Amino acid sequence: MAIVELKNINKDYYLGKTVVHALKNINLKIEKGSFSAIVGPSGSGKTTLLNVIGCIDKSSSGSVQIHGNQIDSLTDNQLTELRLFNIGFIFQSFHLIPVLNVLENIEFPLLLMNKYSKQEIRQKALDMMKSVHIMDQKDHRPSELSGGQRQRVAIARALVTDPEIVLADEPTANLDSETGAIILKLMKDLNKTRKTTFLFSTHDPEILKYADSSITIRDGQINAN
């Protein structure tokens, strides 16, 4: 069953009078529970594709379906709710809230959901911290953590809401190769244990070995799937 389905997606950027075709006629299906990678060189359109799938950016034409929902006609508030309840994000630069500690950062999306009690939120966050092995850093602020620890917090924050899909844009780009491997292994483990769909972008062929499937993109077009 496809959790994400893209049909004839085009994305154009306008730089003055010049039109940049970032995505060209993309047709793609991401299966539920998969651990897929989008591979391609810098500027190939990986991030743009992830942004369109993650409802962060809108396509110029074509249709996007996430978990059966057609997202093209959704309002800003509806898209925000879709991201909150269905999509988890892991960024290259971690993007944690600097003024909140590790526990609070993980609790944050649960608070936004307005669905759980305080105790439930706390318990879910602690469970998630255990899963990503950062219990010792519970009270630390992001600035007091290493890159690997920050990415673990970001993974925990992305997964704590039990999303349908987690999108990770070059999650290991700011990490050394050893830490990057550990992070990918962690993501893979979580994919297996929680059955969460992962879609991550990378330009490093080394980490492709962790992916179940890969999508190669070049000049905005999918070359191989």
Partner 1 sequence: MPIELKIAWRNLYRHKGKSFVIGLILCLGSFIMTIGNGVINGLDTGLQKNIVNNFSGDLVLVSDKQIEKTVLASMTGHTLKPITNFTELKPQILNIPSIDKILPAGAGYVWVLNENGNPLDQYLLGVDIESYLEFFNNNLIVEKGSLLKKNQRGVLVSTRMRDWYFDFTDSWTVPINTSFDQEKAPEKVKKNGSSLQTKKSIVYMGLSSKNASLDILTDVIGIVKFKELNSILGFYCIVDMSSFRECMGYFESSDEAVHLSTKNQNLMTSSLDSIDTLFNDSFDTVNESTTKIKNDLSDIKHIKTSQLDKKLGTYNIIFVKLKKDVNLNKTITQINNLLKEKNIPLQAISWNDAIGMFGQIAMLMKGSLFLFVLFIFIVAIIIIMNTLSMATMERIPEIGMMRAIGTKKRFIQTMFLAETSLLSFVFGGAGIILGSITIIGFKLLKLSTSHEMLQILYGGDTFSPTLDFISVGLCVLQLSLIVCLSSIYPIYLARKITPLDSVLRN
Backbone angles phi, psi at 162, to 5 degrees: 55, 60
The structure tokens 């006629």 sit at: 25
Distance CA 220, CA 24 (A): 5
213 interacts with partner 1 by CB under 8 A: no
Q: Which residue has the tokens 């059955």?
A: 195
Q: Which helix (H) or strand (E) holds 128?
A: helix 118-131
**Distance, CA of 55 to chain centre:** 11
Cβ atoms of residues 55 and 83 within 8 Å: yes
Q: How far apart are CA 193 and CA 131, in angstroms?
A: 10
- Interface with partner 1 includes 76 (CB under 8 A)? yes
Q: Does 47 bind partner 1 (CB under 8 A)?
A: yes
- How many residues of this chain interact with partner 1, rule: CB under 8 A? 31
User: In the range 2-41, which residues lie near partner 1 by CB under 8 A?
Assistant: none
Question: Of 115 and 192, which CB lies nearer to partner 1 in the complex structure?
Answer: 115
- Of 81, 116, 126, 140, the residue at the interface with partner 1 (CB under 8 A) is 81
Binding mask 142-181 for partner 1 (x = CB under 8 A): ---------------xx--x-------x------------
The SS3 assignment for 173 reads coil
Distance CA 53, CA 129 (A): 27
Contact 32, 205 (CB under 8 A): no
Give least dist CB 212 to partner 1, A: 25
In the complex, what is the shortest distance from the CB of residue 93 to partner 1, in angstroms, rounded to a whole number?
5
Options 75, 77, 119, 193; binder of partner 1; rule CB under 8 A: 77
CA distances from 48 to 45, 73, 148, 221 (A): 5, 19, 25, 12
**Sites for partner 1 among residues 52-71 (CB under 8 A):** 54, 56-57
Choice from 112, 144, 146, 176 touching partner 1 (CB under 8 A): 112
> Taking contact as CB under 8 A, which single stretch among the options 23-31, 47-55, 60-68, 199-207 is the one that binds partner 1?
47-55
Q: Quick one: 77 or 193, whose CB is closer to partner 1?
A: 77
* x-or-dash string of contact with partner 1, 83-102, rule CB under 8 A: xxx---x-xxx-x-xxxx--
Query: Given the DSSP bridges, would you call strands 18-31 and 2-15 parallel, antiparallel or unpaired?
Result: antiparallel
**DSSP one-letter code for 89:** E
- Provide the binding-site residues for partner 1, judged by CB under 8 A: 47, 51, 54, 56-57, 76-77, 80-81, 83-85, 89, 91-93, 95, 97-100, 104, 108-109, 111-113, 157-158, 161, 169
